Structure formats: structure tokens, C-alpha cells
Structure 1
Amino acid sequence: MMLRIKRVPTVVSNYQKEEMEDGSRHAGGCGRNCLRSCCLPGAKLPLYAFKKANKVDTEKAFFGSEKKEPPVEFLDSLLLGEWEERMQRGLFRYDVTACETKVIPGDYGFVAQLNEGRHLKKRPTEFRVDKVLQPFDGNKFNFTKVGQEEVLFQFEASEDDEVQFFPSAPIDIDNSPSVVAINVSPIDYGHVLLIPRILECLPQRIDRESFLLALYMAVEAGNPYFRVGYNSLGAFATINHLHFQAYYLATPFPIERAPSKKITTTKDGVKISDILNYPVRGLVFEGGNSLEALSNAVSDACICLQQNNIPHNVLITDSGKRIFLFPQCYAEKQALGEVSSELLDTQVNPAVWEISGHIVLKRKKDYDEASNENAWRLLAEVSLSEERIQEVKELIFEAICCNPDQGDAINRTTADEESNDNPPTHDGDTLLGSHLALVPV
């Protein structure tokens, strides 16, 4: 049986048009200044070359006096400066900084945002939600069709192991570059896309090399307010072209406050824990003997989920120190008619940001009535059952060759309960008065 969702919010380039409107391509370019062979010859883009790190958990690696200062501050000067310049040029579909945002009172502080602009910028689409792995289709929208002005810079490892920035560097067509581009339908401030090896036209599936690149981006940022996320097909990825998302949110994500309980430690020192007392069941990975060890543990888990056709979302937090993995089933329930009409009416598709606690609402009514209980009820529909999550974890542990330990201590943050089924009963956080309170200055 083929499960389909007819309409979903998506990232749409300002330069996306139906192929039938322009079936011909000319040697001089298609006129859109895109990232395909028609427009790439002779094109140049800025290049940020990052230094590869061996560790993710040592303070010296990020803030110590022995670290050579980079020639340009990665986020504050380059990414955000370029992102704001694109905003001034009118490349975004709406002004996300004008969206109302508040923290909902409660132990976790779910963040509600009213983003009616994103709701209005839908396009008809149809894709299978019951198949995580699907081949790339060049006839459908993909990121080679965006305008070059939407790309902020190329993002590659430095050849001499030092951070470097080149304001204008040739695009190496033979060695497909990884690029950082704006999300023209942003969820929040500084919302960008990391597109690994863009010219290879990889489908939306995790591989070791690409996930390590995403982790390097989080490490290089060195800012706890900058998180990197990933959605698989079937878990509300709407473009089947490999990409990660990232943006600023200057408040903790609720998932970052959830307690956890250690399950096991891999032979490479990566600690894997259960997420406790949170509406979506999942795992958290941290530590490891090297950055690559941490990356491989998570990417191997994702590859296992892909091969077993299990939709999933990933969140990289704490400048690359913690990574959350959520297998999910909301799209399947939605397609099978198992989600209540009340939740469907909100038109919220819970992808990585919503699952992590930043809930983008499309209707003023839902925003005004946003509560801890409503957020919990929505996200609980995303979660696999306790029985199913145990089966999935067994698959993951077998894939990454580790055996669960028994009786490990619980790491607690703000809650003591261990159940994923009911929200905490305390109220504590106050509302933030405006969107600007959530934007770094």
C-alpha cells in the first residue's frame, strides 16, 4: 500500500518554477543563475574552510587561549551577516523576525511561534511517506535549482588544518562542494540549509561523511543557541535532496531539559541514553573518544533506521556535544487516518524542530491557546510505543555493535518523572514578550 500526504509545507526557492515553463536550456545559462551546469561555468562563491577537530568535549578545543583566532567569526560575522544581507535584498518569502514567539509556562518551556507566513507559502506536493529511502528525481525540485545568490558560502575542510575564509572561490564542479544556503521559508533567525556535495544530487539519506560534516558545522559554530537538525523522508523532509537545517534560538530547546538514563557506552566511548519523561521517545548520544566516533555512532544508527524503513529526526545541540535521535510515526498515522481531526486542523507537521519543542503554529487561535498540555498531546502522537521503541533500539544496538548495560544512573535536568505518557504538572517559566527576546544580539 502506498501512503501519501497531499500538501505539506516546504522549502521553496524563489527561482523554482515548473519545468514545463522553461523546457529549453541554453549554453549561456538558463537566466536564473542557478547551480546547474547551465550556469556554473566560471561561477565563484565565498568559501569557509574549517579546521578538523579531534575532540568535541574539551574546552580548550573551542575556547582555550591556545586556539588561533579564526580570520572571521563563523556565525556572528559571516553566517548571520550574509543571512541578514539576503533579508535586506528581499530573498525571503516573509519576515520571520516579525513572528510572535513565546515560551509556554511549564517545566520544559515549550516554545510557540505564530508563523502565518509559512502557512501561506505552501505548494502542492505528493510523496511517499511510507518509504524512507527513495531515489533522487532530478525532474522534481532540488537545490541545484536555487539561485546562486541564495548560497551564503561553500563549507569545506581546510587543506592545511587552519581556519580560512576566501571571499570569492571557484566552484569545483569535479569535486562537488558542500554549501550553506538560506532557507527562503525560515522558521527562525539565521535559518540556513547545509547541503553536502550539492552537485552529486544525493537523496535525503544519512551517510557517515555527510553527517560528520553537519557535526563539524555545529562544532565550528561554537554557539549553544545554534542547533543543526535533520528530517528523513517519512518524518517531514519535503525535499528529496540531502540537506540539514540549522538556526538560532536563544533559549533552551525543551528536549535539552529532559532527563536521560544511560543505556550503554560503545567501545569508542560514546554514551547512549534513553530520553525520559518527554512526549517523544528517543535516544541521546554524547561523548566518545573522538568527534568521528560520536558521528559514526549516530550516523550508523540512522543508516540502520533507513535500512529498516523507520522515519526519524535528528537534533545536534551543545555545539556538537549532544545528539538526539527520534524514530517517529506521525506521518504514517496521519496517512492512515489515525490522528484526531483536532490535531490535523492545526496543520502542524511535527518535524525535528517541533519534536524538540519549538512548535511552529499556523493559526492565531492555536497560538493564543498554546499550553504545555496541548504541546505534549501533539508530540505524544509522534512517538513510537514503548514496545516498538524497544524493538527499534535493539536494531540500533546490533547495528553499532554494543550491548545495553543495566542499572545505570539517571541524568536529570528539570524533571524527576520517568514516564513519557504525561506532561509535568508544574508551571514556572514566564512568557517572553517579543520575538527579539529570542534573537542573539
Structure 2
Amino acid sequence: MLKRDRIYLAHSSLLSGRIVHGRDQLNYDVTNCETKVISGGKNFIAQLNEQWSSNSLALLENADNQLLGSSRMTNVQICRDNILLCITRGENASPELMPSSMLPQDGTLVFVNVNPIEYGHIYLVPYKFYNPSKILDKGSLEYINEIAIELDDCCFRMFYDYAPLVNPSAVYFQANFFASVLPVELGELIPVYGDPLDGGIQICEVAGYPIKTLVFMSRDNPKLLARFMSEMCSVLQERNAVFSLLISDCARKFFLFPQVQSSSATNHLSAWECGGYFIFNTVTKFDDVSEEDISNRLASVSLDDQDFQTLKQQSCCIANKVFP
């Protein structure tokens, strides 16, 4: 395990499609997959990946923090070969790599993803050994945020998806490296709350994006931002709202994609899809996809104007509560 909050081991060793983890290899080299920018003004990105599968998510559902309790430790054996490392806090001021066969009482497990969508695709599973949680709590989000801060690489992005009616118990993040910015990050921002010059939290709306999106930013105080986002996520989860998060710019920006409720996972979009990055498993679909197709897919899960306005008001109320 690592003392302090570092993920450098995952960055240096996860050479997409070529590393050996335990007894298996990744299913393919994602760096060989063809990608393109779809013509139009939104700059949506399409990837042709005929081998990609979402089945690896089932692996994480067997290894989330619900399975780390003492009564069900045998389930961890299912994924032991896929564990890259465990990140946890220590007393030392500098990071330290410590080989260990035992899990610490709390931390973040880092799993390799055998079906990556981009370079360095991993799962990050926050857990508390003696106090498992079914929802994302404040401590877990702050821990994840610290990993992004310490990694200090603007190409590194983290994702979180919450759909309670589809999968109410899995709590995990995904992360990978993108060489270029995602389409949603290029959008014009409309100020909603805060002043970027006062060093606090700023809330903005992404103008003209097909799925209504809020952006929460703090240039100088990412830890303060994580505190606010934990409150925001807590309110959304208490209301069983469907949403996705994109954490970018070394944890200085959180993109919130609220989605309409559905009992089917196929009706929800992942965080990277909300950000404008789509995967296609056939050449025909990859060649034929248009900006209109992507825009319609994004718009189909978006909140309506009234619900989005309510969400903006709620986010401002939470900001006033956290920063009176």
C-alpha cells in the first residue's frame, strides 16, 4: 500500500493493453483503437472499439466496499489479481510504497480495468473496512479529490456515476488519461454563483450543451471545493437523483451531469459519454455517427428547464450553507 495519497504506481505501470496483472492480460491495447472528432461545432469524440465491453463493471460490483466487511472477505479473492495497489494515509510527510498482504482499515483500492476506454483506465474503490457505506460519503469524495490533486496531471480525469434504481450498492470511481480536453470542457460558461476573484467556489452553467450541465470550480482551494461537492452529492443521493460527475483540472473543476430517472441502465449515460466521448463497437456505427445523433442522445437524458432551474437554486443554497 502507499502511505500518503499517491497514485504514481498506477500511472507508471498501467501501460494500456500490455501489462500483466496477476495471471491475466488486458483484453486489448486501447491505444490502437481509432478515434475521431465528429464533424460539427461540438467536437464530440468517437472511438471505434470492437472489443470493448462493460462486463468489467460486474467485477467491481463484487469488490466494492460492501464486500470488504469481515463476514464477506472471501469475495475479495475474486478480484485479487486485478488489484494494482491500495492508497491510504500514513504518518510520513512523503509518500512511501509498502508491500503488504493485508488491507488497511480504510483507503482506496485501485483495480485495473480489463476493458479500458482510454490510456490508464482504472477503478478506484473507496472503502472503510469496519463501516461500509452504500452511498458516496464526504470522506470518500475528499480522499478521491486528494488523489487527483497529488497526481497533478491535467490529462487525468475521474468519473462517478450514480443511478440508485439500477445499482444502489456500488460505490466506485473510474479514471483515465485523455490526451485532449473533453467536448464539455470547451463549452462557454454562464456564471450562476460566486466570483472567480474571491478565491471561493464558483458555479457556472455550460451554455448550449445538449445535456444541461453545472460546473463547480475553485482555482485556489480544491479541498474547499471537495467539501462543497460532498454536500451537493449528499443532497442528490438523498433524493435518489441520477447524476454523473467528471472531475478535471487536477480536482479544480467538477462537472455535474444530472439525468432523468429510469429503471434501466441502458437509459443512463456514463460520465465520459456526458462529457462528449462515445464508444462504438462496429465500423458502420462509427462511420455513420453524426453530431446530431450524439446531441439527441445527450438531450434524451437531460433534465427539463424547470428541473434544471430548481437544481441551480439548490446548488446556490448549498453554497450559502457551506460558506455562510
Unaligned runs of 5+ in 1: 1-45, 52-71, 128-134, 336-346, 404-441
The two structures, once aligned, show a CA RMSD in angstroms of 3.5
- The aligned residue for residue 250 of structure 2 is 319
SS of residue in 2 equivalent to 1:384: coil
In 1, Cα distance between equivalents of 2:119 and 2:127: 25
Kindly provide the amino acid, as one letter, of the partner of residue 47 in structure 1.
Answer: L
2:39/2:291 contact within 8 Å kept: yes
Q: CA deviation at 1:227?
A: 0.4
In 2, Cα distance between equivalents of 1:350 and 1:235: 14
In 2, Cα distance between equivalents of 1:373 and 1:353: 18
Q: Which runs of 4+ in 1 moved over 6 A?
A: 137-140
| Higher percent of residues as helix | 2
State yes or no: 1:165 paired with 2:100. no
SS of residue in 2 equivalent to 1:299: helix
Q: CA deviation at 1:313?
A: 0.4
Which of 224, 232, 236 is 1:293 aligned to? 224
Aligned pairs (5 A) from 1:221-370: 221-234=151-164, 240-265=169-194, 269-287=200-218, 290-329=221-260, 331=262, 349-370=268-289
Identity of aligned residues (%): 26
In 1, Cα distance between equivalents of 2:286 and 2:310: 36
SS of residue in 2 equivalent to 1:324: strand
| Segment drifting more, 217-226 vs 304-313 | 217-226
- The aligned residue for residue 104 of structure 1 is 38
Aligned pairs (5 A) from 1:85-164: 85-86=19-20, 90-119=24-53, 121=55, 144-164=76-96
SS of residue in 2 equivalent to 1:157: coil
Compared CA separation, residues 293 and 331, structure 1 to 2 (3 A): same
Q: How many residues align?
A: 312
- The aligned residue for residue 49 of structure 1 is 4
Kindly provide the amino acid, as one letter, of the partner of residue 190 in structure 1.
Answer: G
1:182/1:192 contact within 8 Å kept: yes
Q: CA deviation at 1:233?
A: 2.1
- The aligned residue for residue 135 of structure 2 is 205
1:82/1:152 contact within 8 Å kept: no
Q: CA deviation at 1:216?
A: 1.4
Kindly provide the amino acid, as one letter, of the partner of residue 269 in structure 2.
Answer: P
In 2, Cα distance between equivalents of 1:396 and 1:119: 35
Q: CA deviation at 1:188?
A: 1.8
Q: CA deviation at 1:48?
A: 5.2
Compared CA separation, residues 155 and 184, structure 1 to 2 (3 A): same
C-alpha distance after superposition, 1:33-64 (max 9, x if no partner)? xxxxxxxxxxxxx425327xxxxxxxxxxxxx
Compared CA separation, residues 288 and 110, structure 1 to 2 (3 A): closer
C-alpha distance after superposition, 1:99-153 (max 9, x if no partner)? 33222123332111123323485899xx9xxxxxxx958999x983533221111
Kindly provide the amino acid, as one letter, of the partner of residue 229 in structure 1.
Answer: F
1:204/1:240 contact within 8 Å kept: yes
The higher relative CO (CA closer than 8 Å, separation ≥ 6) is in: 1
- The aligned residue for residue 304 of structure 2 is 385
SS of residue in 2 equivalent to 1:250: coil
Unaligned runs of 5+ in 2: none
Compared CA separation, residues 120 and 298, structure 1 to 2 (3 A): closer
C-alpha distance after superposition, 1:73-114 (max 9, x if no partner)? 556424x35984236953434443343322212333211112
1:50/1:164 contact within 8 Å kept: no
In 2, Cα distance between equivalents of 1:145 and 1:169: 15
2:83/2:109 contact within 8 Å kept: yes
Q: CA deviation at 1:299?
A: 1.4
Q: CA deviation at 1:327?
A: 1.0
Which of 395, 398, 409 is 2:314 aligned to? 395
In 1, Cα distance between equivalents of 2:165 and 2:269: 8
Compared CA separation, residues 116 and 122, structure 1 to 2 (3 A): farther
Compared CA separation, residues 367 and 330, structure 1 to 2 (3 A): farther
In 2, Cα distance between equivalents of 1:299 and 1:280: 22
Which of 180, 183, 198 is 2:110 aligned to? 180
In 1, Cα distance between equivalents of 2:57 and 2:2: 32
Structure ID, larger Rg: 1
Question: Please, what TM-score do these two structures have when normalized by structure 1?
Answer: 0.62
Aligned pairs (5 A) from 1:17-56: 46-47=1-2, 49-50=4-5
Q: CA deviation at 1:348?
A: 7.9
Q: CA deviation at 1:325?
A: 0.9
Compared CA separation, residues 386 and 358, structure 1 to 2 (3 A): same
- The aligned residue for residue 411 of structure 1 is none
Q: CA deviation at 1:281?
A: 0.8
2:21/2:84 contact within 8 Å kept: no
C-alpha distance after superposition, 1:227-278 (max 9, x if no partner)? 0000012497x58332110011212100110111111129981111112111
